Amino acid sequence: MRNYVIAVDLGGTNIRVALVHADGRITRRISRPSLVREGKARVIDSLLSAVEELYQENYEAPQGIGIGVAGAIDLKTGTITQSPNLPGWDDVPLQKLVKERLSFSAEVFLENDANAAALGEYWKGAGAGSTTMICLTIGTGIGGGVIVNDMVLHGADGMASELGHITVDPQGPRCNCGNTGCLEALASATAIQKSAADALRAGHRSSLKSLWNRDPDSLTAKAIADAAYDGDDPARRIYQDMGTWLGIGIATLINVFNPEKVIIGGQVSKAWELFIESMQEEISRRALRVPARRAELLPARCGDDAGLLGAAYMVFSAKETGGKELRG
């Protein structure tokens, strides 16, 4: 019985590889630095050697290999078309490259990391039991994944559910994507840091001031959340405002998808109590009654494993459905 999958989470900082069972258990993990600067070949070698290590330990080939990658994927060819986190990885046919070099025979599946995280939450996390759900991963940027009728929303080029780049304020700050007022430019960790720096520069009295004076880089979203939990007013307001912007974006998504669940993950979601109230208030104000009442707002449950679980689920569900459901 080959009832396990090798799941890979290929990010700009780390390559994480895990052995995932059909019930979602993870029984073995390997994590290594991606060393992106040493070039593509080196990264792929490193990925493959970790995969082979898990294979050797298990004597038998896995059901398949699922890879989540931070970047745009051409699903038809299994190619990374572009990746902000893997500079220079334009048009890399990773699916083929991995499959060809394996010492054993296995199908390889590729997916965008935010979609993989959504799938992970859908399979074994806060999304379990739903058929239509939205997952937002809030970190340095904001990633999005949408499940519609138990399928990942891919769009024509696998570029759908770029939920960080919906416009929530047409006059808002510039986003890395070139647009102004994207959700990501107003509600990501980066946006929170920027708001705090702006508040301090504007002379607001805050316990963050001394931290900022010592080292501006230490003014992280986490440090700002800590200050907010300690009652620091400017820090609290920053998270409240972030919740307002997030609520505007989620209200739009609720009116568009009428989802059963909206799941929020990523490092910033740990500050849940700091933004949930203003977020909910904005959703009640802006979303239509029936879909607003339907949509459960939940923190993600799989943490850093969401992407690995989703990568594994791609393989398991492809075997069940002949690949139709997820590759369609």
Alpha-carbon torsion (237, 265, 48, 72), positive or negative = negative
Residue 193 near residue 186, CB atoms below 8 Å: no
| Structure tokens given for 199 | 């508040």
Residue 10 near residue 17, CB atoms below 8 Å: no
110 vs 238: CA distance, rounded Å: 37
CA 304 to chain centre: 9
Nearest to 125 by CA among 245, 301, 325, 281: 301
307 part of the interface to its own copies, by CB under 8 A: no
Q: Find the binding residues for its own copies in span 44-73 (CB under 8 A).
A: 72
Cβ-based neighbour number of residue 171 at 10 Å? 7
Nearest to 66 by CA among 152, 7, 20: 7
Nearer to its own copies, 74 or 233 (CB): 74
Nearer to its own copies, 125 or 158 (CB): 158
The C-alpha angle with vertex 300 and arms to 251 and 181, in degrees rounded to 5, equals: 40
Q: Could you tell me the smallest distance in angstroms from the CB atom of residue 290 to its own copies?
A: 5
Nearer to its own copies, 248 or 314 (CB): 248
Of 27, 216, 256, 303, the one binding its own copies by CB under 8 A: 256
The 267-286 site mask, x for binding its own copies (CB under 8 A), equals ------------------xx
Q: Find the binding residues for its own copies in span 236-255 (CB under 8 A).
A: 248, 251-253, 255
Q: Could you tell me the smallest distance in angstroms from the CB atom of residue 210 to its own copies?
A: 34
Q: Could you tell me the smallest distance in angstroms from the CB atom of residue 260 to its own copies?
A: 5
Q: Could you tell me the smallest distance in angstroms from the CB atom of residue 162 to its own copies?
A: 4
Question: Helix or strand or coil: residue 66?
Answer: strand
Of 30, 61, 97, 177, the one binding its own copies by CB under 8 A: 177
160 part of the interface to its own copies, by CB under 8 A: yes
| Residues that bind its own copies in the complex, under the rule CB under 8 A | 72, 81-82, 131-132, 146, 148-149, 151, 153-163, 165-170, 177-180, 248, 251-253, 255-260, 285-288, 290-291, 294, 328
